[in-house]
Chains A and B, each alone.
Chain A
Amino acid sequence: MIMPGTDGDIGVVVGGSLTKGLEVRLDAAKAAGLGQYVMAPLGDGFDLLGMVTDVMLKSAEGSATAWPPPSGEDRHIALLREVLLDTGVYTAIDVQPYLEVGEAGESSRARRIPRHFARVARADQDALTRAFDVGDDRPAVTLGSPLGMDDVMVHVDLEKLFERSAGIFGKSGTGKTVYAVQFLSGLIKQSSMAPTKQQRTVALIFDMHDDYGDYLKFEGGQRRSLKLLHGSDVALMGVEDRPGLDRRLVVGTKDIEPDDLRVLQSTAEFTQSAIEACDVLFDKLGHGWFDAVLAEVPPAALARASETEEGDAGWGPVLKSLDIAQPTWTHLRRKLRALKSRDFVQSGDSQFRGAIDWIVQSLQGGQSVVIQFGKHGNNLTSYMLVANMLSRRIWDAYQRAMEQARGDAAKEPNRLVIVIEEAHKFVDKSMAGQTIFGEIARELRKYNVTLLIIDQRPSQIDPEVLSQIGTKFCLQLDSEADVEALVGGIQGRSGLRQVIASLESKQQALVFGHALPMPVMVRPPEFTRDFAPGGSLRQRLDPGANGAASAAMKPLYG
């Protein structure tokens, strides 16, 4: 409970509403910043916990600001300015109410507000612990310190975080990847402590720029990343042939289906008519369609069926019989040749089926898998092709496993988080209904598969998919449309918009949504050279309980 006159006191409630937020007049010489937590007594052992969503300069009467003190340092002018501060003019904050927290730790969504003149104080560790308590025995990772509260740490329940899909959003260079590595590191660490492999939550990471494997590029240098931090709990697969990989991924042309290419429409790689032509050819030729398209002459069966009276057995009559226009055909062949020119795409059969099995076995065996792209990471087409191909098949494997389990939890596959970057390309407004990622997001955790999407243009993501993103990590965004896309439909969204607009370009994030009882503006943990992921809350609080790792965690968890 708040004790009036204590150091944490900052002001009094002077107005407002539950839906639009409270207005709090700050005491003289007190300050509060955007994103900070404050609390006010509700009167029955409960405190209201809210977030500062605006800071305002106000005047008690209009005359003070209509006739402000003149400039200058004369004694009377200086005195006039001083006496007007916090009397004629004052500072007020808007507070969005979020939670009612009880003395015993119970909490619920705010449905009441304090009375006029209730004292408002900065929320302390105790209040935040009550609000964000994840239980001592539940796996959790640190989000960071709420802004202006460096001595306080906020944690998120891992299970709840990946119960639904999550997203990390921010413009380029804001630290999305660093944040993602920290989370995934926490996830892998926590999963490794699970008593059975089936209880492990694992990640399948499509690592566009090779940041999630051995090293992460960080501020001109590098930091150890998931493979070096977690050893055998992480498997590395790459599309390039290079040492250090657990397995190389090669895609055979016979493995590619039209549905695998459909997603490439969003990069303008394939036109709609080209994809429709692929469907027709796949229907006629089955898995040999890709190689057939690149052949000089059509397969005999197709040629015979469409041979003309003049005996022309070339592609011309075939295309005519299949109703494929010549420009479409030309475009399709050019694009397929370009795909095949990639060194990880090979003619005919490959070990792709084996690669899928290997990935599924690794995942269900409790290992997270990082797919690295090497030099192909700069090519969005390569990235999307591989991510889409693998995800579709792994999603199928998980669906089959879930259906075979028939509700028997012991037989269900462990939980999988698929991590994709540049997500708006996969689930943009035109493509969301056609790619596997839109389906995964919509199905929630029905098949134990969720997404962690990392993106800089959330406004480009299909709103239906975005609405299924349970927990959102928002770093600095410049575009108003991107901000609106994230906060639309959320209680107190105008305040959250202000908070997002105030985020600095690095080391600040607003996290809100399913896994958290209320939004939190945090400074993520320092990504130090000796970064080590955390254990459970109890282990974090008891440095002796986790041996050497605890010592390494100290800089992270204080």
Chain B
Amino acid sequence: MTIDTPRVVEAGLRAFACAYERYVEEPFRLGQLVAVREGPWTVIGAVADTASGPDDPSRPLQATGGEMSAAEVLADNPHIRPLLRTRLTVVSCGYIEGEVARALLPPTPPPLLARVEAASEPETVRITGDGAFLALLVGAPQCDDAVLAATIRSAAAAHGAGAREFTVVAGKELARLLKADSARLASIIRGVAG
């Protein structure tokens, strides 16, 4: 369990990077909201990118294994997995301080090496309810249309029966934010509905 929990490895106000201790096949998904609960506030962010590869870029992974599947290769070569890493790029979209949830940048970055966990449904609903969190994502260079669509879809799942209503609220917020770019709005909405 502990080795499959990523930790913050690079921290900024707008985005932070986190990494698993080794390569994992099923990391947090694109657009999933994650929470860093260590520190004076809980920083909430959306997964904007995921990358896996060698921990040391100067030692590239050799494509070996013949007819074996990836799982069989890793099982057959247990020394490889510790040399690999899965890294995530997370864009901040709010923070929770006590009872107050704010769709704003956190006052300070999340602590390095703090554990990064999936945001709970209540946390997700509090941060995303009015759609304001999208302003931080739309402004982030890491967030393209696919990230935004995936984030809205992911957050909608946390709203349960109110998922449809939340989707419309988020869509309207996007429409306001992207006022001059209807093509982009249409692209994101297609991703949300898809």
- B-facing residues in A34-83 (Cβ within 8 Å): 60-61, 63-64, 66-67, 69, 74-76, 79-80, 82-83
Nearest Cβ in chain A — how far from B191, in angstroms?
8
Answer whether residue A307 sits at the interface, using C-beta atoms and an 8 A cutoff: no
CB-based contact B171/A83 at 8 Å: yes
A84→B175 contact, CB < 8 A: yes
Q: A75-B193, A87-B172 are in contact. Are A80 and B186 (CB under 8 A)?
A: yes
B61 at the interface (CB under 8 A from A): no
Question: Considering the chains assembled together, what is the distance between the CA atoms of A84 and B167 in angstroms?
Answer: 13
- Within B150-176, which residues are at the interface with A (CB < 8 Å)? 167-168, 171-172, 174-176
Q: Taking the complex as formed, is A482 at the interface, i.e. its CB lies under 8 A from any CB of chain B?
A: no
Q: Tell me what chain A mostly uses at the interface: helix, strand, loop, or mixed.
A: helix
User: How far is it, in angstroms, between the C-alpha of A83 and the C-alpha of B165 when the chains are bound?
Assistant: 11
Do the beta carbons of B189 and A83 come within 8 Å of each other?
yes
Taking a contact as CB atoms under 8 Å apart, the answer to whether A79 and B180 are in contact is no
> How near does chain A come to B118, taking the closest CB pair, in angstroms?
26
Chain A residues whose C-beta falls within 8 Å of the C-beta of B2 in the assembled complex: none
Inter-chain contact A63/B175, CB cutoff 8 Å: no
> Are B190's CB and A76's CB within 8 A?
yes
Interface pair B192/A76, CB less than 8 Å apart: yes
| The residue from A76, A79, A88 contacting B179, defined by CB atoms under 8 A apart | A88
Give chain B residues whose Cβ lies under 8 Å from the Cβ of A76: 189-190, 192-194
Are the CB atoms of A79 and B182 closer together than 8 Å?
no
- Quick check: is A291 within 8 A (CB to CB) of the other chain? no
A interface, size bucket:
10 to 19
With the chains together, A86 CA to B185 CA distance in Å?
Answer: 15
A88, B175: Cβ atoms closer than 8 Å: yes
> Is B172 within 8 A of A79, CB to CB?
no
- CA A150 to CA B97, docked complex, whole Å: 51
Q: Known: A75-B193, A76-B190. Contact between A83 and B168, CB under 8 A?
A: yes
Q: A82–B193 Cα gap in the complex (Å)?
A: 12
Cα separation A66 to B185 with both chains bound (whole Å): 14
Q: Does B25 contact A (CB under 8 A)?
A: no
A94-106 vs B, CB cutoff 8 Å, 1 = contact: the mask equals 0000000000000
B 76-91 to A, binary, CB cutoff 8 A, 1 in contact else 0: 0000000000000000
15 A–B contacts, CB within 8 A, in A order = A61-B182, A63-B179, A64-B179, A64-B182, A66-B182, A67-B182, A76-B189, A76-B193, A79-B171, A82-B171, A83-B171, A83-B172, A83-B174, A83-B175, A87-B176
Using A67-B186, A79-B171, A80-B190 as known contacts, list a sample of 5 further A-B pairs with CB atoms less than 8 Å apart, ordered by residue number in A: A63-B180, A80-B186, A83-B189, A87-B175, A87-B176
- Across the A-B interface, the 7 shortest Cβ-Cβ residue pairs: A83-B171, A76-B193, A87-B175, A63-B182, A75-B193, A76-B190, A61-B179
